[in-house]
A = this chain, B = another copy of it.
Amino acid sequence: MAISISRPSVSLPQQFLYSINPQKFSSISVIRKKQNFLRCASSDSAPPPTRQEMSLSVGMYLIPHPNKVEKGGEDAFFVSSDDGEVLVVADGVSGWAEKNVDPALFSRELVANVSSLVGNVEVNDDPRILIKGAHAATSSIGSATVIVSVFKNGILKIGSVGDCGLRVIRKGQMIFSTFPLEHYFDCPYQLSSESVTQTYLDAIVSTVNLQVGDTIVMGSDGLFDNIFDQEIVSVVTTNDDVSNAAKALADLARNHSVDTKFDSPFSLEARARGFDVPWWKKVFGMKFTGGKLDDITVIVGKVKTT
């Protein structure tokens, strides 16, 4: 049944539209059903802090691609504590090096432009407007993926073009994640100096209400291609200090990135998209594994009472 907005409201809370005959099925006794609900923990009855009472502690860590150590890699990031917390990560698209263009120039300029716009009243704490203004002000040749988040009054606003990412962890569980947008495998949406480019209109914009104790993990694809979400949850729940957590995440991602046997998120995705070792290697039971060598940028933010 299709309901358009022009029709009157339809309420079907007790209706089911289709039924089938009961079928035999096997249940596994070791799986607990939801019968233990009465033993579930209760919510904290203390009133939560007001949104104005929240702020962020932030730790950062960047490990450049091994071949780009001297120049500091091609990722760029910015952390502001003016007028709410603004976090930015940009990742210069490496293919420009083949055209004798330093891919770091565009990402760094983009991030610097965002930093210049922070506090501008016309930005109005809107990540998409920050992206729009920062992109418009670039003069370098190149392109970059970018993620911008603004935390103010307990609300985190996120805008992302491409495959930089952000996760939120609450009480040991992931409660929010961005998703990468790409044209095809390993070719993300990106802001560019070319006339053919994505724009702020292509940014995926989302918002999540945060609570004291929540942890934000933001980074370039060098982090998320090499480390699983469950590993991120594990690291941030065992590292209270945000700087230690950022370093631990970057180190783990780096270790995975140079481990040719590790079945990373990147290699899983590659195989799912049909990229694998040649057939004659498959005959010997081989498959494409390993992490992805890349610049790894990590920003960890923890929500605290001011």
A residues near B, CB below 8 A? 1-23, 25-28, 30-43, 48, 55-64, 66-67, 69, 72-73, 76-82, 85, 93-96, 98, 104, 108, 111-112, 115, 118, 128, 143, 170, 173-177, 179, 181-183, 185-190, 192, 194, 196-199, 201-202, 204-209, 230, 241-243, 247, 250, 254, 258, 260, 270, 272, 275-278, 288, 290, 293, 306
Contact = CB atoms under 8 A, between A and B. Distances in A.
Nearest to A251: B18
A111 B13 contact: yes
8 contacts: A2-B243, A13-B112, A18-B62, A19-B69, A34-B94, A34-B187, A38-B95, A206-B209
Nearest to A163: B34
A147 B11 CA distance: 16
Contact of A201 (B48, B63, B93): B48
A25 B289 CA distance: 12
Given A31-B270, A64-B16, A77-B13, A293 B192 contact: no
Given A16-B62, A19-B69, A260-B25, A9 B80 contact: yes
B43 A194 contact: no
Given A43-B197, A48-B201, A288-B28, A4 B111 contact: no
Contact of A78 (B11, B94, B185): B11
A176 B181 CA distance: 11
- Kindly report how many copies of this chain are found in the complex they form together: 2
B179 A179 contact: no
B32 A199 contact: no
A35 B181 contact: no
A108 B13 contact: yes
B32 A187 contact: yes
Given A11-B112, A13-B108, A67-B22, A28 B174 contact: no
Contact of A204 (B14, B23, B176, B201): B176
A30 B72 contact: no
B174 A179 contact: yes
Given A13-B112, A43-B197, A80-B10, A37 B95 contact: yes
Contacts of A104: 14
A277 B28 contact: yes
B57 A2 contact: yes
A206 B187 CA distance: 28
Contact of A3 (B13, B58, B183): B58
